[in-house]
């Protein structure tokens, strides 16, 4: 996932050099903006519509960091019924739940009652095509 | 006398190829899993469950076919692109735990622990395991 946008500076043989030369900045590198911890970061492609409410759509790319500890309302990748799924983590009254983006959602899963469910990683960015 | 004081740790990943396959495929997390060598010749990585079934390291595939069928052993051909990527990630992470490091193989590395106090060695080891 390396995107490099080149700067095209005018070549000047003689005479007045380009005044922009002194202001050259680094190429835009999305890795720097989207990935904080390279060895623990993975890109995962979304399949399904269950998380549309929180802005995660079918075919989106998720940037997932396995080294982060999930917080309340973190979007996470969890291992549920032998499958990796994307969910929202909600902590309430000393209990943790996984939902599809809303506290009201009926399909919420109580993590305290299902200790076999493992939080695989924390989603840090969604890459969505418009 | 310096060498008397040097402490070297050997890091070795458990069933590395199998662990890599399991990382993105939780459905095989608790099942017996093996990875075969190039052209599916021999068994080169076994999960604990597969070891318990008597599948030996380096055993030819045709010899264990019966065990595989009877016990529904999940069998994979090598995916070195995946193992190489995970190996690089493991090594990059290990580098944080020692000023000196020597990568020994795809899943093994030596770390210089000389600067760590004896009583802290065990704790440091657990910390590495947890982080990886």
pLDDT in tens, B62-116: 999 999 999 999 999 999 999 999 999 999 999 999 989 999 999 999 999 998 8
Q: Which two tokens stand for residue A56?
A: 């995660």
B102 is catalytic: no
> CA of B30, closest CA in chain A: separation in Å?
10
Length of chain B: 132
pTM for the full predicted model: 0.79
Chain A residues with CB-CB distance to B29 below 8 A: 79, 82
Regarding beta strands A95-99 and A109-110, do their DSSP bridges make them parallel or antiparallel, or are they unpaired? antiparallel
Q: Which of B26, B89, B90 lies at the smallest CB-CB distance from A83?
A: B26
Q: What is the pLDDT of residues A80-103, one digit of tens each?
A: 888 899 999 988 888 888 988 765
Chain A residues with CB-CB distance to B93 below 8 A: 39-40
* B84 interfaces chain A, CB cutoff of 8 Å: no
Mean pLDDT of A44-56: 89
* B18 interfaces chain A, CB cutoff of 8 Å: no
CB B128 within 8 A of CB B94: yes
Among B45, B28, B29, B62, CA closest to B107: B45
The residue among B22, B89, B90 with the most chain A CBs within 10 A of its CB, best to mutate, is: B89
**What mean pLDDT is reported for chain A?**
85
Among B17, B8, B32, CA closest to B105: B17
- Whether ipTM tops 0.85, in short, is no
Cα dist from B5 to A53, B96, B117, B124, whole Å: 59, 21, 11, 17
* B26 interfaces chain A, CB cutoff of 8 Å: yes
pLDDT at A1: 61
Which stretch of A31-45, A97-111, B93-107, B113-127 has the lowest confidence by average pLDDT? A97-111
pLDDT at A115: 84
Q: Which two tokens stand for residue B42?
A: 């021999």
């Amino acid at each position: 996932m390396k995107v490099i946008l080149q700067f095209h500076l005018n070549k000047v043989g003689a005479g007045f050099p380009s005044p922009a030369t002194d202001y050259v900045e680094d190429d835009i590198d999305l890795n720097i903006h989207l990935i904080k911890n390279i060895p623990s970061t993975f890109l995962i492609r979304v399949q399904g519509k269950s998380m549309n409410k929180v802005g995660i759509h079918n075919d989106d790319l998720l940037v997932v960091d396995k080294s982060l500890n999930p917080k309340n309302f973190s979007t996470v990748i969890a291992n549920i019924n032998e499958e990796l799924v994307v969910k929202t983590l909600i902590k309430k009254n000393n209990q943790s739940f996984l939902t599809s983006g809303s506290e009201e959602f009926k399909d919420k899963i109580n993590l305290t009652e299902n200790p076999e469910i493992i939080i695989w990683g924390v989603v840090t960015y969604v890459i969505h095509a418009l | 006398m310096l060498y008397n004081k040097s402490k070297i740790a050997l890091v070795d990943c458990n069933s590395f190829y199998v662990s890599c396959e399991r990382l993105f495929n939780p459905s095989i997390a608790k099942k017996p899993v093996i990875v075969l060598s190039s052209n599916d010749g021999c068994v080169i990585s076994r999960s604990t469950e597969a070891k318990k079934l008597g599948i030996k390291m380096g055993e030819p595939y045709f010899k264990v076919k019966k065990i595989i069928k009877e016990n529904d052993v999940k069998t994979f051909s090598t995916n070195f692109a995946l193992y190489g990527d995970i190996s690089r990630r493991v090594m990059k992470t290990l580098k944080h735990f020692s000023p000196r490091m020597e990568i020994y193989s795809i899943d093994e590395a030596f770390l210089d622990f000389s600067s760590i106090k004896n009583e802290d060695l065990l704790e440091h080891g657990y910390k590495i395991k947890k982080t990886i």
